[in-house]
Amino acid sequence: MSLDPKKLTIDSERAHIVELYVDGACIPKNPGGVPVWGFLLLRDNIPIDTKGGLAGSESSPRSTNNVAEYEAFINALKHVKSLGWDQGKVVVYTDSQLLKGQLKDGWKVGPELLPLHKKAKALMDNVPHLELRKIPRAQNRVAHRATKAAYYEILLAKSKNVQV
């Protein structure tokens, strides 16, 4: 279930806080499984939406958890931008040490992740009050479930021979 963001009241006197919990996985194996992503969006501590999807091509040797984590981050920020909520405070929570390390702490980025890293950094540059925080996996359960749901939707569509 998701709320209609356009129906939320806007209080110009109060700063709104957008929180994103992002997750990615390569299921059933890493690397080489199906790369899927998911996120949970909250505004002022109110759950607004969960989304998930396929990160790139299905089942490729290049498919990894790290690719899926980047796709979760990118899709979550794009969604916030589409709602016009990217100019306030945005806090992104991830359980991926690599994602946080590469995007925030200056870790080296390998060639396989460089295009996604550039895309993520470009999106970050357009969000003036962005924080990226590493959290334990146990605190990222809803985003993880959105990721798993995306995987099962892909399997279901595949079994019915439907394009997702």
- Give the pLDDT confidence score for residue 57 in this predicted structure: 67
**With bands split at pLDDT 50, 70 and 90, how would you rate the model's confidence at 12?**
very low
Q: How many CA atoms lie within 13 A of 145 on its CB side?
A: 8
With H, G, I as helix, E, B as strand and everything else as coil, classify residue 129. strand
- Give the pLDDT confidence score for residue 1 in this predicted structure: 47
Q: Is the dihedral of CA 75, 78, 82, 87 positive or negative?
A: positive
Query: Average pLDDT in the 10-39 region?
Result: 87
Question: pTM here?
Answer: 0.89
- Give the pLDDT confidence score for residue 158 in this predicted structure: 84
pLDDT digits (tens, 9 = 90+) for 55-85: 976 767 779 999 999 999 999 999 999 999 9
Average pLDDT for the chain: 90
Closest CA relative to residue 90, chosen from 125, 66, 115: 125
Q: How many CB atoms lie within 10 A of CB 1?
A: 5
**With bands split at pLDDT 50, 70 and 90, how would you rate the model's confidence at 10?**
very low
Q: Is residue 5's pLDDT more than 70? A: no
CATH numbers and ranges of domains, the chain: 15-159 (3.30.420.10)
- Under a CB-based contact definition with an 8 Å cutoff, are residues 93 and 17 in contact? no
Burial class (CB in 10 A: 0-12, 13-18, 19+), 144: buried
pLDDT digits (tens, 9 = 90+) for 112-164: 999 999 999 999 999 999 999 999 999 999 999 999 999 999 999 888 876 55
Query: Average pLDDT in the 92-118 region?
Result: 97
Q: Which two tokens stand for residue 44?
A: 């002022």
pLDDT digits (tens, 9 = 90+) for 26-37: 999 999 999 999
pLDDT digits (tens, 9 = 90+) for 37-49: 999 999 999 999 9
HEC string for 37-91: EEEEEEECCEEEEEEEEECCCCCCCCCCHHHHHHHHHHHHHHHHHHCCCCCCEEE
As a whole number of Å, the end-to-end CA separation of the chain is 20
